[in-house]
Amino acid sequence: MKLIGNYTSPFVRKISILLLEKGITFEFVNEQPWSAESSVPQYNPLGKVPALVDDNGDCWFDSPVIAGYIELLDVAPAMIPREPRAALRVRQLEALADGIMEAGLVSVREQARPAAQQSEMELLRQREKINRGLDALESGLASGAMDGEAVNLATIAIACAVGYLNFRHIAPGWCVERPNLVRLAETLFSRESFARTEPPKPMSA
């Protein structure tokens, strides 16, 4: 099994963690999707990571689809409940966390543009998405509608989203007045799978 991605993508990290938690052996192929020489389009026509090549040579792309494929392998521990409604709830929380990640990625790309070309309106729009998403997660944890102690696809995706905000210094102060979300992230960050997939620190000048 081969995972195509890069070390800084939170979507790739989510899939790496799922594989590690299940003890599934895989080869990691480090690719930069934005590079003109990238081979990523060979695996995903959209040129996005992650992509997964299974042992039969079939290629799967888009992290929710890959997560679904991994669960079909029926390797313990289960990361998506068997009961359909519970499974749908976990997938919705995954989608919310993925949306926070995507808003973070858009913010990083916008801030990488020359200052005169950056759109403050776009940055504000993405910050609002991130804050609304984090508020919804905190509310779900505080009400007990979401189990902050569970290790499943939803909580892994949430911790990956928070980890990306920290890594890219997006939404500074996000943890203020979100103690339940902080607790969930700290619990997940202490796991070996998260330690092994922590993105590399930027090199200092």
Q: How many domains does the chain have?
A: 2
> What pLDDT is attached to residue 202?
64
> What pLDDT is attached to residue 204?
44
> Is the pLDDT score of 205 beyond 80?
no
Find the domain containing 48 and state its range: 2-72
Q: Which among 17, 40, 72 is the end of a domain?
A: 72
* Pair 54, 100 in one domain: no
> Is the pLDDT score of 14 beyond 60?
yes
> Is the pLDDT score of 26 beyond 60?
yes
For the entire predicted model, the pTM comes to 0.95
**Cα gap 171→183, rounded to integer Å:** 18
* CATH number where 62 lies: 3.40.30.10
Residues 164-195 pLDDT 10s? 999 999 999 999 999 999 999 999 999 999 99
Cβ atoms within 10 A of the Cβ of 149, count?
Answer: 8
DSSP 30: E
* Pair 23, 88 in one domain: no
Q: Which among 72, 93, 108 is the end of a domain?
A: 72
Pairwise pLDDT comparison (53 vs 33), residue with the higher score:
53
* Pair 40, 97 in one domain: no
* Pair 120, 90 in one domain: yes
User: Are the C-beta atoms of residues 138 and 178 closer than 8 Å to each other?
Assistant: yes
* Pair 35, 89 in one domain: no
> What pLDDT is attached to residue 37?
87
| 192 φ, ψ (degrees, to nearest 5) | -60, -40
Is 34 within the bounds of a domain? yes
* Pair 145, 184 in one domain: yes
Residues 50-97 pLDDT 10s? 999 999 999 999 999 999 999 999 999 999 999 999 999 999 999 999
Question: What is the four-CA torsion angle of 120, 121, 122, 124, rounded to 10 degrees?
Answer: 80
* Pair 52, 119 in one domain: no
In this prediction, what percent of the chain has a pLDDT beyond 70? 98
